[in-house]
Structure 1
């Protein structure tokens, strides 16, 4: 076979160079296509089968998510599913890298001029680095999610919605070397409509006295007249139940968290609500969680001290609109009691919870997931099973569209030293009924007509699309320092500057 003439070779060089670049770009856009074009059809067809299979799986879950969002999230959030996805991503990265190497081989780089060969080699290496790096990073995120779910969420029993609502007890407290576990100083029930996601936050003060317990429980047998005994003050407050139960764990055989159990029972009897789950939040670790999401933005109506009581005041969080708080300042905003009261602190905590709910967007979760998951493992202890993660993620997405209301069992309506528990239960029921009426009357709670009727049968495939935009108050509000006379407040209004 005659050798090519030098002038003919120089004319074909640009063609060979373009062919080499095209093969690499084809591998990037449609893995296996370069092999099909170059004649290596067996490898190309196997690559196409894999790509087609992956596309089919993605389309299936997208369609399933549109039909059954919570169930889809539950499936995808399982540790076993996440492990499978992690392995799949690693295998896909290795396979794609092999196709890039093969496409480079097919382009016959040794026949190219030196500069063209260098460009082709650099491009091939860059594409391998970008594609494989992205897939490996995705596998790391998936592994972090799997570890997070396995560490925070258990495999306990699912609890069905009671009267169409999930009631989740949020306990917040400080842990330290001088304490056994975490003593809750903040207690709030998030009562969530199982169909619409509309949420009522029910604040229960830590200094409620003589709290009752459900009949038949170990605590009810020990304290038939409520949580009190001679000389117990101030330890006979509600937040003392946790410590007492922890110190008498023999009354709760086989229960790894007697303090949480006893506190949940007391709050259940106090409010009349069946509690489905709890989440115990370490307020010190909460600072890291706020930092992980990039901080929160709040309207602040009053000056809040940093420090105080047993420690010197180190500064103040000044009032204003759209004040951005990092973890350190958000923690002090939520926990400070200097120059105010427990009831003012409860109101500020509702503002923080509401801000987290409204500002923690899917984009923030995706871009900062590593930090969020790492911080959450240190912050949260919960008995919500992993199998219910999709249900509550679904509810949280719906809740973001709707205003949050609340009730606090605080003075002057409720006296902490001598609380009227029947009145508390009545007011809790009224607050929930008022929230549910916003869906029953079709207004959606914001003056717009909702087309989705409320149902207590379970989750619907879609939620009412509503707006929470409200006109800002022209006057500063003092509701974060003065509790409302009837205990009922709107979180959006108490968090306005």
Structure 2
């Protein structure tokens, strides 16, 4: 017989219709058990493959197509995370994107339910070995619960995040980077006992390179006097020589952090568009003063309520601080400046602080060698420690508490549409060294400061 004839006489490979997966011998318990294991594993690894091999082929191909599209999307997301994280983070940081996430998760939950139930049908559990019957059924049941539970939790978390973003972030103006940088004014507000209105005790500016995420932080003391205003500011017409010059202001103390209180309580009409821009007159006046002091434009602000900060820290599980100086919790102060009546102290060294102790760390005014400048520096240190130590696992496991505390702690005019941009820059920033410049005594006197020198230092740091 010729080779050609032998090839023609050789039996053809079995078709899909004749494979044990599609047409099994239902009386062979051992074979049915192996088949059940294979279909279960295939369903868990490649959803839809069980249907393509043992069920409705058309349905299986559709399911495989969905799985393939999802796998491609995950690979693309992984690439974007390293190449352009801003674009990837845009989806989960705005209301529209979170709505899309909710709908996709709901659709995936229904799809997973249908595929898992159909896979269970294909197994024909009554034909497999008794021990394997219970094991395979349990595996599919656990997979079903985990899949539906995970999708349900994700949809719920997306809804909570959408509500928080809608509360904290508005849909205000979009500002372009100035000389390639976003400059964000960070205020630590404190409406302490005996004060009329909130007064920002901690004032700093975070400057971010819009491409690289390079970050420089400038700290300003609250008691600068006098303070210039940027060109075009309504406060410039009122205080042409600077706020506090010649003792002129409209509150009891003429210094940088008094500007907020004065404008909020006595001159809110100077900034009639503030509310529409998701801001306040006092914040806009403070922004004009900080622009004048540093010589750079400020695109956005973030106000952190130090009173509510305690709840945010507790929601995040505390914060670790390298304490440099022994600080009192409570008590008073003697005539020579030493603390009295103190029962609890924050000791030097690395300390994991809960919300209450962290707030005392930021607010404590007493203690040997303590000062307003050190207290303001500690407030900035606390804010930066929170930003550095927040991790995805903490946020996921405490999501609702973090979201609820955050909505009460943070106020800002950063629009929702830029959250992805800033989140991506934050990812880049965490892998770099940051520079901090404090314009505080003795190098920079708070009385009649040399603003030309400050402007030059700012420009050199940004270059």
The counterpart of 1:34, out of the listed 26, 50, 56, is 50
Aligned residue for 1:297, secondary structure, equals strand
- Quote the offset at 1:264 in angstroms: 0.9
Aligned residue for 2:28, secondary structure, equals helix
Quick one: structure 1 residues 308 and 171, their matched pair in 2 at CA, closer, same or farther if it must change by over 3 Å? Answer: farther
CA distance in 2, matches of 1:253, 1:312: 48
- Residues 22-61 of structure 1 deviation map (CA, whole Å, 9 limit, x = unaligned): 3233222111111122231122112112112222333333
Contact residue 84 and residue 424 of structure 2 kept, 8 A: no
Quick one: structure 1 residues 225 and 304, their matched pair in 2 at CA, closer, same or farther if it must change by over 3 Å? Answer: same
- Residues 111-136 of structure 1 deviation map (CA, whole Å, 9 limit, x = unaligned): 45765544443333222112221222
- Residues 280-316 of structure 1 deviation map (CA, whole Å, 9 limit, x = unaligned): 0011221222233332222222111223569974521
Contact residue 90 and residue 136 of structure 1 kept, 8 A: yes
Aligned residue for 1:207, secondary structure, equals coil
CA distance in 1, matches of 2:406, 2:217: 21
CA distance in 1, matches of 2:332, 2:175: 41
Q: Which runs of 5+ in 2 are unaligned?
A: 1-24, 334-339
2:316 corresponds in structure 1 to: 293
Aligned residues: 424
Aligned residue for 1:324, secondary structure, equals strand
CA distance in 1, matches of 2:27, 2:142: 28
Where do residues 13-52 of structure 1 align in structure 2 (5 Å cutoff)?
13-52=29-68
1:329 corresponds in structure 2 to: 357
Q: Compute the TM-score of the two structures, normalised by the length of structure 2.
A: 0.82
The counterpart of 1:377, out of the listed 407, 417, 423, is 407
- Quote the offset at 1:190 in angstroms: 1.2
1:338 corresponds in structure 2 to: 366
> Quick check: 136-145 or 79-88, which moved more?
136-145
CA distance in 1, matches of 2:235, 2:303: 20
- Quote the offset at 1:344 in angstroms: 1.0
CA distance in 2, matches of 1:106, 1:254: 65
1:221 corresponds in structure 2 to: 237
Please say if 1:237 is aligned against 2:265.
no
The counterpart of 2:78, out of the listed 54, 62, 65, is 62
Please say if 1:400 is aligned against 2:430.
yes
CA distance in 2, matches of 1:92, 1:10: 33
CA distance in 2, matches of 1:354, 1:91: 39
CA distance in 2, matches of 1:405, 1:123: 53
Please say if 1:433 is aligned against 2:456.
no
- Quote the offset at 1:431 in angstroms: 4.8
- Residues 145-170 of structure 1 deviation map (CA, whole Å, 9 limit, x = unaligned): 33333322222222222223221110
Please say if 1:350 is aligned against 2:380.
yes
1:458 corresponds in structure 2 to: none
CA distance in 2, matches of 1:312, 1:258: 41
- Quote the offset at 1:189 in angstroms: 1.0
1:209 corresponds in structure 2 to: 225
CA distance in 2, matches of 1:240, 1:294: 34
RMSD between aligned alpha carbons?
2.9
CA distance in 2, matches of 1:259, 1:312: 37
2:300 corresponds in structure 1 to: 277
1:259 corresponds in structure 2 to: 282
Aligned residue for 2:29, secondary structure, equals helix
1:318 corresponds in structure 2 to: 347
Quick one: structure 1 residues 110 and 231, their matched pair in 2 at CA, closer, same or farther if it must change by over 3 Å? Answer: closer
Contact residue 293 and residue 455 of structure 2 kept, 8 A: no
Provide runs of 4+ in structure 1 moved above 6 Å: 176-181
2:123 corresponds in structure 1 to: 107
Whichever of the two has the greater Rg, that structure is: 2
CA distance in 2, matches of 1:39, 1:165: 58
- Residues 325-349 of structure 1 deviation map (CA, whole Å, 9 limit, x = unaligned): 2222222112211232211112222
Quick one: structure 1 residues 432 and 357, their matched pair in 2 at CA, closer, same or farther if it must change by over 3 Å? Answer: farther
Aligned residue for 2:330, secondary structure, equals strand
